[in-house]
Amino acid sequence: MTGRSGRSARMAALASPTMVEPRRPEHVLIGPVGAGKTTLGSRLAERLGLPHVQLDTIANEYYRAAPDFDAPTYNSLMAESFVAAYRYWEPALAYAVERVVADHHDCVFDLGAGHTSFLDRQLHARVATALRPFESVVLLLPSRDTARSVSILRERCQQRGHEWIHEDVDFIEHWVTDDQNRRLAKRVVYSEDCDPDALVEQLLAGDPNTAVT
């Protein structure tokens, strides 16, 4: 009577994910708006001779394809409440991360702020799963000092005409102080008073001045 049970055990073993998950060598840059991800991503991609995949510039196609996302509904909510519309949009942001890392390889990824730090924290697990294979997930911040990072980013955003404070939500403070980005990151790079090309060399060299999480 061991034949069927033995086969069942072998089938269960084969179905279990016991193999080591393949690792991916691409660099993934994350962090709050205004942190310098696009500049660093462009310089890093040029240095490595790889494409620079900036999610913010290609994400609309992913948003449109996201389950349960409807652009007219989003626009209707936006007319009433930025935060309500943003919360409705967040599952599409997570979906965009899942899709972009599946669709692109051998590149440098640059993920916009809202794609890795959510008001709905339950979405973090989806992005964590999508980024888990990557050996280099880099969180970019202006300063080791949290309050200074918030101040620098707020000033940069004000210069661009968007303060990122809506209703009761301070998005800049959320993106800097919430732990979601740090939980994703393998390394933290601080950019204040540092030339982007020097940051690239620090990152590639594993410079001890960049913090390892």
The tens digit of pLDDT for each residue in 110-136 reads: 999 999 999 999 999 999 999 999 999
State pLDDT tens for residues 133-184. 999 999 999 999 999 999 999 999 999 888 899 999 999 999 999 999 999 9
AA letter at 127: V
Size of the chain in residues = 213
Global confidence as pTM: 0.86
pLDDT at 22: 86
As a whole number of angstroms, the distance between CA 89 and CA 91 comes to 6
As a whole number of angstroms, the distance between CA 114 and CA 191 comes to 20
For the segment 49-71, the average pLDDT, to the nearest whole number, is 96
Per-residue pLDDT band at 15 (split at 50, 70, 90): low
The helix-helix angle for 55-65 and 82-103 (nearest 10°) equals 100
